[in-house]
């Protein structure tokens, strides 16, 4: 799909990846973030842990039916079941992709909104590394499908695969500190390419 739609991918930064399963966290400014992840990490099997509503879009539902662990955030029992499924997947060798913002921001895209805690709870619980990734311009190439007149055009997708956060570092940090570290690392690439975003960090004061 990426090649057919004329979306080459440029890895501005491609840091060394850890061995074994890990948690991948990324900003989320476009549904291209989901599709391109397979081009970014072609040799590393992974599943998406994300909101169940994503399966409501026909193309995405068809493509990700077997590659997505849906999280039904309004149902605590189902949400807890999703984390159990994620833990089992990691034990079987799968990495897990999570967009910690939980949604595509409605305003000031690609400026990020505060991260939710789930990705960092999972990484600490499973004792696996975290790989932060930044997509800097996907929002200019393709918007939320609900935006009828949003952008949809070919172009080069720019991304950064940042240095991973080791299991030892994760063990020494609280969930909040870990969340702030990942937010700042991902946000740094956005600020570099979009200075208007500024250096504002997460609302709780990183």
Q: What is the pLDDT of residues 4-19, one digit of tens each?
A: 667 889 999 999 999 9
Q: At 186, give phi and psi (nearest 5°).
A: -70, -40
CATH number listed for the domain at residues 9-197: 3.40.1130.10
| Predicted pLDDT of residue 147 | 57
Task: Give which of 56, 45, 50, 12 is closest to 190, Cα–Cα.
Answer: 12
Query: Mean of the pLDDT values across residues 65-84?
Result: 76
What pLDDT, in 10s, does the model give residues 137-170?
999 998 665 555 566 678 899 999 999 999 999 9
pTM over 0.85: yes
Taking CA atoms, 197 is separated from 80, 136, 142, 159, 173, in Å, by 35, 12, 20, 17, 27
């Amino acid at each position: 799909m990426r090649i057919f739609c004329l979306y080459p991918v440029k890895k501005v930064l491609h840091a060394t990846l850890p061995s074994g399963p890990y948690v991948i966290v990324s900003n989320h400014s476009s549904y291209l973030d989901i599709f391109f992840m397979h081009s970014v990490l072609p040799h590393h099997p992974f599943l998406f842990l994300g909101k169940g509503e994503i399966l409501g879009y026909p193309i995405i539902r068809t493509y990700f039916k077997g590659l997505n662990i849906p999280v039904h955030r309004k149902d605590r029992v189902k949400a807890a079941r999703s984390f159990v499924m994620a833990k089992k997947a990691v034990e079987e060798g799968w990495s897990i992709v999570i967009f910690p913002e939980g949604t595509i921001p409605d305003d000031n895209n690609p400026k990020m909104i505060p991260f939710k805690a789930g990705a960092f709870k999972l990484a600490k619980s499973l004792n696996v590394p975290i790989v932060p990734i930044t997509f800097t311009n996907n929002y200019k190439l393709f918007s939320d499908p609900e935006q009828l007149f949003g952008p949809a055009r070919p172009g080069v997708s720019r991304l950064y695969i940042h240095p991973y956060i080791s299991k030892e570092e994760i063990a020494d940090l609280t969930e909040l500190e870990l969340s702030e570290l990942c937010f700042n690392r991902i946000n740094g690439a956005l600020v570099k390419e979009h200075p208007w975003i500024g250096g504002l960090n997460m609302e709780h004061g990183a």
